[in-house]
Amino acid sequence: MSKPIHPTALFRLMVLGPLASRGEIKHGEVTHIIHRLASESYNIPDSRRTHLSEHTIARWHLLWKRGGIEALNPKIRADKGKTLISELVKNKLIMLKKDKPERSLNQLIDMIEREGLVSKATLARASVHRFLQQQQLSKRILPNQNTIERRSFVAAHAGDIWQGDVLHGPTIQTSDGMKKTYLVSLMDDKSRLIAHSAFCFNEAALDIENVLKQAILKRGLPQKLLIDNGPAYISHSLKSICARLEIQIIYCRPYEPEAKGKLERFHRTFRAQFLSEINFSQISGLGDLNARLWAWIEGSYHMRVHGGLPDNQTPISLWRDELHHVKSLLPHMVEQIDDLFYHREKRKVRKDGTISWNGNFYEVAHKFVGEIVMLVFDPHTHNTIRIETDLGEYLGAVAPLDLDANLNRSRQRPHLANAEAQVQKEYAVEDIHKDYEELCHIPTNNDPIDEDV
Protein backbone atom coordinates (compact mmCIF):
# COMPACT_ATOMS: atom_id res chain seq x y z
CA MET A 1 0.00 0.00 0.00
CA SER A 2 1.39 3.42 -0.95
CA LYS A 3 2.05 5.97 1.75
CA PRO A 4 -0.72 8.63 2.00
CA ILE A 5 0.19 12.08 0.71
CA HIS A 6 0.12 14.93 3.20
CA PRO A 7 -2.51 17.62 2.31
CA THR A 8 0.15 20.33 2.62
CA ALA A 9 2.33 18.54 0.05
CA LEU A 10 -0.65 18.34 -2.33
CA PHE A 11 -1.30 22.05 -1.96
CA ARG A 12 2.35 22.90 -2.64
CA LEU A 13 2.37 20.67 -5.72
CA MET A 14 -0.80 22.38 -6.93
CA VAL A 15 0.94 25.75 -6.65
CA LEU A 16 3.92 24.38 -8.59
CA GLY A 17 1.65 23.03 -11.33
CA PRO A 18 3.06 25.07 -14.25
CA LEU A 19 6.61 24.23 -13.13
CA ALA A 20 6.07 20.56 -12.18
CA SER A 21 4.12 19.60 -15.31
CA ARG A 22 6.76 20.69 -17.78
CA GLY A 23 10.07 19.14 -18.69
CA GLU A 24 13.04 21.33 -19.41
CA ILE A 25 12.51 24.98 -18.56
CA LYS A 26 14.98 27.75 -19.16
CA HIS A 27 16.28 29.55 -16.09
CA GLY A 28 14.88 32.92 -17.13
CA GLU A 29 11.51 31.32 -17.84
CA VAL A 30 11.42 29.74 -14.35
CA THR A 31 11.89 33.17 -12.80
CA HIS A 32 9.07 34.56 -14.94
CA ILE A 33 6.67 31.72 -13.98
CA ILE A 34 7.50 32.05 -10.26
CA HIS A 35 6.83 35.79 -10.45
CA ARG A 36 3.43 35.10 -12.05
CA LEU A 37 2.54 32.43 -9.47
CA ALA A 38 3.40 34.81 -6.62
CA SER A 39 0.96 37.39 -7.99
CA GLU A 40 -2.01 35.01 -7.68
CA SER A 41 -4.12 34.39 -4.57
CA TYR A 42 -4.51 30.98 -2.89
CA ASN A 43 -6.60 29.34 -0.21
CA ILE A 44 -3.61 28.45 1.99
CA PRO A 45 -4.34 25.65 4.49
CA ASP A 46 -4.37 26.72 8.16
CA SER A 47 -3.60 30.34 7.28
CA ARG A 48 -5.43 33.62 6.76
CA ARG A 49 -2.93 34.71 4.14
CA THR A 50 -3.85 34.42 0.49
CA HIS A 51 -0.50 35.17 -1.21
CA LEU A 52 2.86 33.42 -1.36
CA SER A 53 6.26 35.04 -1.77
CA GLU A 54 8.53 34.29 -4.75
CA HIS A 55 11.17 32.99 -2.35
CA THR A 56 8.72 30.42 -0.89
CA ILE A 57 7.62 29.17 -4.32
CA ALA A 58 11.23 28.94 -5.52
CA ARG A 59 12.16 26.91 -2.40
CA TRP A 60 9.26 24.49 -2.97
CA HIS A 61 10.33 24.08 -6.60
CA LEU A 62 13.87 23.21 -5.55
CA LEU A 63 12.59 20.66 -2.98
CA TRP A 64 10.32 19.05 -5.58
CA LYS A 65 13.18 18.74 -8.09
CA ARG A 66 15.36 17.05 -5.48
CA GLY A 67 12.90 14.69 -3.80
CA GLY A 68 9.54 14.79 -5.55
CA ILE A 69 6.30 15.15 -3.65
CA GLU A 70 7.75 13.52 -0.51
CA ALA A 71 10.12 16.47 -0.18
CA LEU A 72 7.11 18.81 -0.10
CA ASN A 73 5.80 17.29 3.14
CA PRO A 74 5.94 19.72 6.10
CA LYS A 75 8.88 19.08 8.38
CA ILE A 76 8.22 18.03 11.97
CA ARG A 77 9.92 20.21 14.54
CA ALA A 78 12.90 18.53 16.12
CA ASP A 79 11.89 19.95 19.51
CA LYS A 80 8.23 18.89 19.23
CA GLY A 81 6.86 18.00 22.65
CA LYS A 82 9.77 19.73 24.40
CA THR A 83 9.78 23.03 26.22
CA LEU A 84 12.35 25.25 27.90
CA ILE A 85 9.88 26.29 30.62
CA SER A 86 11.26 25.44 34.05
CA GLU A 87 9.56 22.82 36.19
CA LEU A 88 8.67 25.45 38.77
CA VAL A 89 6.86 27.55 36.17
CA LYS A 90 5.19 24.47 34.68
CA ASN A 91 3.74 23.47 38.03
CA LYS A 92 2.57 27.01 38.67
CA LEU A 93 0.88 27.23 35.25
CA ILE A 94 -0.96 23.96 35.84
CA MET A 95 -2.10 25.10 39.29
CA LEU A 96 -3.30 28.51 38.07
CA LYS A 97 -5.11 27.05 35.04
CA LYS A 98 -6.84 24.32 37.04
CA ASP A 99 -7.81 26.81 39.73
CA LYS A 100 -9.62 29.00 37.16
CA PRO A 101 -9.90 27.45 33.68
CA GLU A 102 -11.21 30.73 32.25
CA ARG A 103 -7.84 32.43 32.71
CA SER A 104 -6.28 33.53 29.42
CA LEU A 105 -2.66 33.15 28.37
CA ASN A 106 -1.98 36.81 29.04
CA GLN A 107 -3.45 36.53 32.54
CA LEU A 108 -1.36 33.45 33.31
CA ILE A 109 1.86 35.06 32.08
CA ASP A 110 1.13 38.26 34.00
CA MET A 111 0.55 36.30 37.23
CA ILE A 112 3.78 34.32 36.72
CA GLU A 113 5.73 37.55 36.14
CA ARG A 114 4.22 39.29 39.19
CA GLU A 115 5.29 36.39 41.39
CA GLY A 116 8.86 36.86 40.15
CA LEU A 117 9.16 33.36 38.66
CA VAL A 118 10.27 34.78 35.27
CA SER A 119 11.58 38.10 34.06
CA LYS A 120 9.31 40.54 32.25
CA ALA A 121 8.59 39.62 28.59
CA THR A 122 10.67 36.41 28.66
CA LEU A 123 7.83 33.86 28.80
CA ALA A 124 6.40 33.50 25.29
CA ARG A 125 2.67 33.00 24.77
CA ALA A 126 3.38 30.29 22.19
CA SER A 127 5.47 28.32 24.69
CA VAL A 128 2.77 28.52 27.34
CA HIS A 129 0.11 27.56 24.81
CA ARG A 130 2.05 24.49 23.62
CA PHE A 131 2.69 23.36 27.19
CA LEU A 132 -0.96 23.70 28.16
CA GLN A 133 -1.95 21.82 25.00
CA GLN A 134 0.24 18.91 26.07
CA GLN A 135 -1.48 18.96 29.46
CA GLN A 136 -4.90 19.23 27.73
CA LEU A 137 -5.49 22.50 29.56
CA SER A 138 -5.28 24.94 26.69
CA LYS A 139 -9.01 25.38 26.13
CA ARG A 140 -10.36 28.49 27.80
CA ILE A 141 -13.49 27.42 29.68
CA LEU A 142 -15.99 30.05 30.69
CA PRO A 143 -16.94 29.98 34.37
CA ASN A 144 -20.66 29.77 33.71
CA GLN A 145 -21.60 26.61 31.85
CA ASN A 146 -25.01 28.08 30.99
CA THR A 147 -23.50 30.87 28.92
CA ILE A 148 -25.34 32.75 26.21
CA GLU A 149 -24.83 31.33 22.74
CA ARG A 150 -22.62 33.60 20.65
CA ARG A 151 -22.56 33.71 16.86
CA SER A 152 -20.30 35.74 14.63
CA PHE A 153 -22.10 38.00 12.19
CA VAL A 154 -21.35 40.63 9.62
CA ALA A 155 -23.65 43.13 7.94
CA ALA A 156 -24.63 42.39 4.35
CA HIS A 157 -23.47 45.77 3.08
CA ALA A 158 -21.60 48.87 4.18
CA GLY A 159 -23.91 51.31 5.90
CA ASP A 160 -26.31 48.62 7.11
CA ILE A 161 -25.06 48.64 10.72
CA TRP A 162 -22.87 51.05 12.66
CA GLN A 163 -21.50 50.03 16.05
CA GLY A 164 -21.02 52.74 18.68
CA ASP A 165 -19.14 52.69 21.95
CA VAL A 166 -17.15 54.82 24.41
CA LEU A 167 -13.62 54.02 25.61
CA HIS A 168 -12.02 55.64 28.65
CA GLY A 169 -9.12 57.68 27.30
CA PRO A 170 -6.04 59.35 28.79
CA THR A 171 -5.90 62.34 31.11
CA ILE A 172 -4.40 65.37 29.36
CA GLN A 173 -3.22 68.83 30.37
CA THR A 174 -5.61 71.69 29.53
CA SER A 175 -5.82 75.39 30.38
CA ASP A 176 -8.13 74.38 33.24
CA GLY A 177 -5.79 71.70 34.56
CA MET A 178 -5.67 67.95 34.00
CA LYS A 179 -8.83 66.47 32.48
CA LYS A 180 -9.88 62.94 31.65
CA THR A 181 -10.91 62.15 28.08
CA TYR A 182 -13.30 59.66 26.53
CA LEU A 183 -13.06 58.22 23.02
CA VAL A 184 -16.45 58.10 21.26
CA SER A 185 -16.39 55.98 18.09
CA LEU A 186 -18.75 54.77 15.37
CA MET A 187 -17.63 51.84 13.19
CA ASP A 188 -19.19 50.41 10.03
CA ASP A 189 -19.84 46.71 10.70
CA LYS A 190 -19.21 45.48 7.15
CA SER A 191 -15.98 47.30 6.29
CA ARG A 192 -14.60 48.01 9.82
CA LEU A 193 -14.24 51.62 8.68
CA ILE A 194 -14.41 54.24 11.44
CA ALA A 195 -17.22 56.56 10.37
CA HIS A 196 -16.01 59.06 12.97
CA SER A 197 -14.18 59.01 16.27
CA ALA A 198 -13.29 61.80 18.66
CA PHE A 199 -11.93 62.42 22.13
CA CYS A 200 -14.38 64.27 24.41
CA PHE A 201 -14.25 65.48 27.98
CA ASN A 202 -17.53 63.68 28.75
CA GLU A 203 -19.44 60.62 27.64
CA ALA A 204 -22.82 62.38 27.66
CA ALA A 205 -25.54 62.22 25.02
CA LEU A 206 -24.41 65.53 23.53
CA ASP A 207 -20.92 64.16 22.83
CA ILE A 208 -22.32 61.05 21.19
CA GLU A 209 -24.74 63.13 19.09
CA ASN A 210 -21.89 65.35 17.91
CA VAL A 211 -19.84 62.32 16.79
CA LEU A 212 -22.92 60.92 15.01
CA LYS A 213 -23.44 64.26 13.24
CA GLN A 214 -19.86 64.34 11.96
CA ALA A 215 -20.06 60.67 10.96
CA ILE A 216 -23.14 61.06 8.76
CA LEU A 217 -21.72 64.21 7.17
CA LYS A 218 -18.63 62.19 6.14
CA ARG A 219 -20.06 58.72 5.52
CA GLY A 220 -23.81 59.01 4.88
CA LEU A 221 -26.66 57.48 6.87
CA PRO A 222 -26.60 54.04 8.52
CA GLN A 223 -29.69 51.84 8.48
CA LYS A 224 -29.16 50.67 12.08
CA LEU A 225 -27.16 51.85 15.08
CA LEU A 226 -25.90 49.16 17.50
CA ILE A 227 -25.11 50.79 20.85
CA ASP A 228 -25.08 50.27 24.60
CA ASN A 229 -28.11 50.96 26.78
CA GLY A 230 -26.25 53.39 29.03
CA PRO A 231 -27.80 56.74 30.09
CA ALA A 232 -26.15 58.67 27.25
CA TYR A 233 -27.44 56.27 24.59
CA ILE A 234 -31.03 56.00 25.82
CA SER A 235 -31.51 59.77 26.01
CA HIS A 236 -34.67 61.23 24.47
CA SER A 237 -32.62 63.63 22.32
CA LEU A 238 -30.62 60.83 20.65
CA LYS A 239 -33.77 58.80 20.05
CA SER A 240 -35.49 61.83 18.49
CA ILE A 241 -32.52 62.58 16.22
CA CYS A 242 -32.37 58.98 14.98
CA ALA A 243 -36.15 59.00 14.41
CA ARG A 244 -35.88 62.14 12.25
CA LEU A 245 -32.99 60.56 10.30
CA GLU A 246 -34.84 57.21 10.03
CA ILE A 247 -32.05 55.33 11.82
CA GLN A 248 -33.13 52.27 13.79
CA ILE A 249 -31.49 51.97 17.21
CA ILE A 250 -30.57 48.51 18.52
CA TYR A 251 -29.57 48.33 22.18
CA CYS A 252 -27.18 45.67 23.47
CA ARG A 253 -28.00 43.88 26.69
CA PRO A 254 -26.18 45.13 29.79
CA TYR A 255 -22.71 43.68 30.48
CA GLU A 256 -22.45 42.02 27.06
CA PRO A 257 -19.61 43.79 25.20
CA GLU A 258 -19.27 40.74 22.91
CA ALA A 259 -22.23 42.06 20.91
CA LYS A 260 -19.93 44.82 19.63
CA GLY A 261 -16.91 42.58 19.18
CA LYS A 262 -15.59 44.35 16.09
CA LEU A 263 -15.44 47.69 17.87
CA GLU A 264 -13.88 46.04 20.93
CA ARG A 265 -11.18 44.67 18.60
CA PHE A 266 -10.61 48.17 17.22
CA HIS A 267 -10.09 49.41 20.78
CA ARG A 268 -7.34 46.83 21.26
CA THR A 269 -5.62 47.97 18.08
CA PHE A 270 -6.09 51.59 19.13
CA ARG A 271 -4.39 51.00 22.48
CA ALA A 272 -1.49 49.07 20.97
CA GLN A 273 -0.79 51.27 17.94
CA PHE A 274 -1.93 54.75 18.98
CA LEU A 275 -2.05 55.23 22.75
CA SER A 276 1.21 53.39 23.37
CA GLU A 277 3.05 55.62 20.87
CA ILE A 278 1.77 59.00 22.09
CA ASN A 279 3.90 61.22 24.33
CA PHE A 280 1.15 62.88 26.33
CA SER A 281 3.51 65.48 27.76
CA GLN A 282 3.60 66.99 24.26
CA ILE A 283 -0.20 67.16 23.84
CA SER A 284 -1.33 70.80 23.88
CA GLY A 285 -5.04 70.13 24.31
CA LEU A 286 -8.08 68.24 23.10
CA GLY A 287 -7.81 69.62 19.56
CA ASP A 288 -4.21 68.46 19.27
CA LEU A 289 -5.10 64.98 20.54
CA ASN A 290 -7.99 64.66 18.08
CA ALA A 291 -5.85 65.86 15.18
CA ARG A 292 -3.34 63.07 15.91
CA LEU A 293 -6.20 60.57 16.25
CA TRP A 294 -7.73 61.45 12.88
CA ALA A 295 -4.32 61.36 11.18
CA TRP A 296 -3.73 57.84 12.56
CA ILE A 297 -7.20 56.59 11.56
CA GLU A 298 -7.07 57.92 8.00
CA GLY A 299 -3.37 57.37 7.35
CA SER A 300 -2.77 54.09 9.17
CA TYR A 301 -5.81 52.16 10.39
CA HIS A 302 -7.94 52.62 7.26
CA MET A 303 -5.01 51.79 4.99
CA ARG A 304 -3.85 48.54 6.63
CA VAL A 305 -4.99 45.09 5.54
CA HIS A 306 -7.58 43.86 8.03
CA GLY A 307 -7.49 40.17 8.99
CA GLY A 308 -11.28 40.06 9.33
CA LEU A 309 -11.89 41.31 5.77
CA PRO A 310 -11.87 39.13 2.65
CA ASP A 311 -9.21 39.22 -0.08
CA ASN A 312 -6.63 41.14 1.97
CA GLN A 313 -8.73 44.28 1.81
CA THR A 314 -8.34 47.41 3.88
CA PRO A 315 -11.30 49.11 5.59
CA ILE A 316 -11.22 52.02 3.14
CA SER A 317 -10.99 49.80 0.03
CA LEU A 318 -13.98 47.66 1.07
CA TRP A 319 -15.95 50.78 1.98
CA ARG A 320 -15.32 52.24 -1.47
CA ASP A 321 -16.39 48.98 -3.11
CA GLU A 322 -19.64 49.14 -1.13
CA LEU A 323 -20.38 52.85 -1.63
CA HIS A 324 -23.35 52.15 -3.92
CA HIS A 325 -25.12 50.50 -0.97
CA VAL A 326 -24.62 53.46 1.39
CA LYS A 327 -27.62 55.74 1.97
CA SER A 328 -26.41 59.25 1.23
CA LEU A 329 -27.71 62.47 2.76
CA LEU A 330 -30.33 64.20 0.61
CA PRO A 331 -29.67 67.87 -0.29
CA HIS A 332 -32.42 69.19 1.98
CA MET A 333 -31.04 67.12 4.87
CA VAL A 334 -27.57 68.63 4.38
CA GLU A 335 -29.10 72.12 4.49
CA GLN A 336 -31.08 71.27 7.62
CA ILE A 337 -28.41 69.19 9.37
CA ASP A 338 -28.11 71.60 12.31
CA ASP A 339 -31.88 71.72 12.68
CA LEU A 340 -32.09 67.92 12.72
CA PHE A 341 -29.71 67.84 15.70
CA TYR A 342 -31.44 70.62 17.68
CA HIS A 343 -32.97 69.52 20.97
CA ARG A 344 -36.68 69.81 21.75
CA GLU A 345 -38.45 70.05 25.09
CA LYS A 346 -42.10 70.43 26.04
CA ARG A 347 -43.11 73.66 27.74
CA LYS A 348 -46.44 75.13 28.90
CA VAL A 349 -47.08 78.75 27.97
CA ARG A 350 -47.77 80.82 31.11
CA LYS A 351 -50.53 83.41 31.49
CA ASP A 352 -48.10 86.22 30.66
CA GLY A 353 -47.17 84.57 27.32
CA THR A 354 -43.81 83.25 28.52
CA ILE A 355 -42.14 79.87 28.86
CA SER A 356 -39.28 78.98 31.17
CA TRP A 357 -36.15 77.11 30.11
CA ASN A 358 -32.64 76.78 31.47
CA GLY A 359 -33.37 79.22 34.31
CA ASN A 360 -34.62 81.99 32.00
CA PHE A 361 -37.97 83.20 30.63
CA TYR A 362 -38.83 83.60 26.94
CA GLU A 363 -41.78 85.27 25.23
CA VAL A 364 -44.00 83.68 22.60
CA ALA A 365 -47.19 84.78 20.88
CA HIS A 366 -49.89 85.49 23.48
CA LYS A 367 -52.44 83.32 21.65
CA PHE A 368 -50.61 80.18 22.89
CA VAL A 369 -51.33 80.93 26.56
CA GLY A 370 -52.20 77.70 28.37
CA GLU A 371 -51.03 75.45 25.51
CA ILE A 372 -48.23 72.87 25.49
CA VAL A 373 -45.58 73.67 22.86
CA MET A 374 -42.21 72.19 21.85
CA LEU A 375 -39.29 74.54 22.45
CA VAL A 376 -36.52 74.07 19.86
CA PHE A 377 -33.02 75.09 20.98
CA ASP A 378 -29.35 74.62 20.10
CA PRO A 379 -27.82 72.41 22.84
CA HIS A 380 -24.30 73.70 22.12
CA THR A 381 -24.95 77.46 22.23
CA HIS A 382 -28.11 77.27 24.40
CA ASN A 383 -29.88 79.63 21.97
CA THR A 384 -33.63 79.24 21.56
CA ILE A 385 -34.77 78.84 17.94
CA ARG A 386 -38.58 78.61 17.79
CA ILE A 387 -41.65 76.81 19.10
CA GLU A 388 -43.44 74.07 17.21
CA THR A 389 -46.05 71.36 17.68
CA ASP A 390 -45.11 67.86 18.78
CA LEU A 391 -45.39 66.92 15.08
CA GLY A 392 -42.77 69.52 14.10
CA GLU A 393 -45.15 72.17 12.69
CA TYR A 394 -43.88 75.74 13.04
CA LEU A 395 -45.77 77.87 15.59
CA GLY A 396 -43.68 80.98 15.95
CA ALA A 397 -40.54 82.71 17.12
CA VAL A 398 -39.13 82.86 20.64
CA ALA A 399 -37.56 85.95 22.21
CA PRO A 400 -35.95 86.53 25.61
CA LEU A 401 -38.26 88.22 28.10
CA ASP A 402 -37.71 92.02 27.99
CA LEU A 403 -39.21 93.57 31.13
CA ASP A 404 -38.26 97.15 30.18
CA ALA A 405 -39.90 96.94 26.75
CA ASN A 406 -43.02 95.38 28.23
CA LEU A 407 -43.45 98.40 30.56
CA ASN A 408 -44.73 100.60 27.69
CA ARG A 409 -46.03 97.89 25.42
CA SER A 410 -49.71 98.09 24.38
CA ARG A 411 -51.70 95.08 25.51
CA GLN A 412 -54.16 93.05 23.52
CA ARG A 413 -57.61 93.17 25.16
CA PRO A 414 -59.81 90.88 23.09
CA HIS A 415 -62.94 91.23 25.33
CA LEU A 416 -62.79 95.05 25.43
CA ALA A 417 -62.17 95.24 21.73
CA ASN A 418 -65.25 93.11 21.04
CA ALA A 419 -67.41 95.32 23.32
CA GLU A 420 -66.27 98.51 21.55
CA ALA A 421 -66.95 96.94 18.17
CA GLN A 422 -70.49 96.02 19.30
CA VAL A 423 -71.20 99.56 20.47
CA GLN A 424 -69.91 101.00 17.21
CA LYS A 425 -72.09 98.55 15.33
CA GLU A 426 -75.22 99.63 17.27
CA TYR A 427 -74.47 103.32 16.65
CA ALA A 428 -74.04 102.60 12.95
CA VAL A 429 -77.47 100.89 12.77
CA GLU A 430 -79.23 103.85 14.48
CA ASP A 431 -77.64 106.29 12.02
CA ILE A 432 -78.86 104.19 9.07
CA HIS A 433 -82.45 104.24 10.44
CA LYS A 434 -82.38 108.02 10.86
CA ASP A 435 -81.12 108.59 7.31
CA TYR A 436 -83.79 106.27 5.96
CA GLU A 437 -86.59 108.13 7.81
CA GLU A 438 -85.41 111.47 6.47
CA LEU A 439 -85.35 110.18 2.91
CA CYS A 440 -88.81 108.66 3.13
CA HIS A 441 -90.54 111.53 5.05
CA ILE A 442 -93.53 113.29 3.30
CA PRO A 443 -93.99 116.95 4.33
CA THR A 444 -97.36 117.98 5.97
CA ASN A 445 -99.07 121.33 6.71
CA ASN A 446 -97.55 121.24 10.15
CA ASP A 447 -94.02 120.89 8.79
CA PRO A 448 -91.96 124.04 8.35
CA ILE A 449 -91.67 125.10 4.72
CA ASP A 450 -88.25 125.75 3.27
CA GLU A 451 -88.75 128.90 1.18
CA ASP A 452 -85.62 128.18 -0.86
CA VAL A 453 -87.05 125.00 -2.32
Report CA 323 to chain centroid distance, whole Å: 17
Report CA 201 to chain centroid distance, whole Å: 17
What are the C-alpha distances in Å from 360 to residues 354, 357, 363, 405?
A: 10, 5, 10, 17
Instruction: Tell me the domain boundaries of the chain.
Output: 7-72, 161-323, 342-445
CA 232, 270, 220, 247 torsion: positive or negative? negative
Q: What is the percent of the chain with per-residue pLDDT over 90, rounded to a whole number?
A: 37
Q: Which residues lie closer than 8 Å to 374 by C-beta, 6 or more apart? A: 344, 345, 346, 347, 387, 388, 389, 390, 392
Which pLDDT does position 7 carry in this prediction? 83
Q: Which residues lie closer than 8 Å to 9 by C-beta, 6 or more apart? A: 69, 70, 72, 73, 74
Neighbours of 222 (CB within 10 A): 28
Which pLDDT does position 207 carry in this prediction? 93
**pLDDT (tens digit, 9 = 90+) per residue, 172-199?**
988 888 999 999 999 999 999 999 999 9
Are the C-beta atoms of residues 221 and 327 closer than 8 Å to each other? yes
Regions in the chain scoring below 70 on pLDDT: 1-4, 22-23, 27, 77-82, 139-152, 254-259, 409-453
Which pLDDT does position 189 carry in this prediction? 93
Are the C-beta atoms of residues 212 and 249 closer than 8 Å to each other? no
Which pLDDT does position 326 carry in this prediction? 94
**What is the C-alpha radius of gyration for the chain, rounded to an integer number of angstroms?**
39
For residue 307, give the amino acid letter: G
Residue 5 CA to residue 71 CA, distance in Å, equals: 11
Which pLDDT does position 303 carry in this prediction? 93
Which pLDDT does position 331 carry in this prediction? 85
Q: What would the CATH number be for the domain defined by 161-323?
A: 3.30.420.10
Which pLDDT does position 431 carry in this prediction? 58
User: Any idea how long the chain is?
Assistant: 453
Are the C-beta atoms of residues 286 and 201 closer than 8 Å to each other? yes
Residue 87 CA to residue 118 CA, distance in Å, equals: 12
Which pLDDT does position 195 carry in this prediction? 96
**pTM to 2 decimals?**
0.60
Which pLDDT does position 171 carry in this prediction? 92
**pLDDT (tens digit, 9 = 90+) per residue, 339-384?**
999 999 999 999 989 999 999 999 999 899 999 999 999 998 999 9
Nearest CA to 104 out of 78, 138, 80 is that of 138
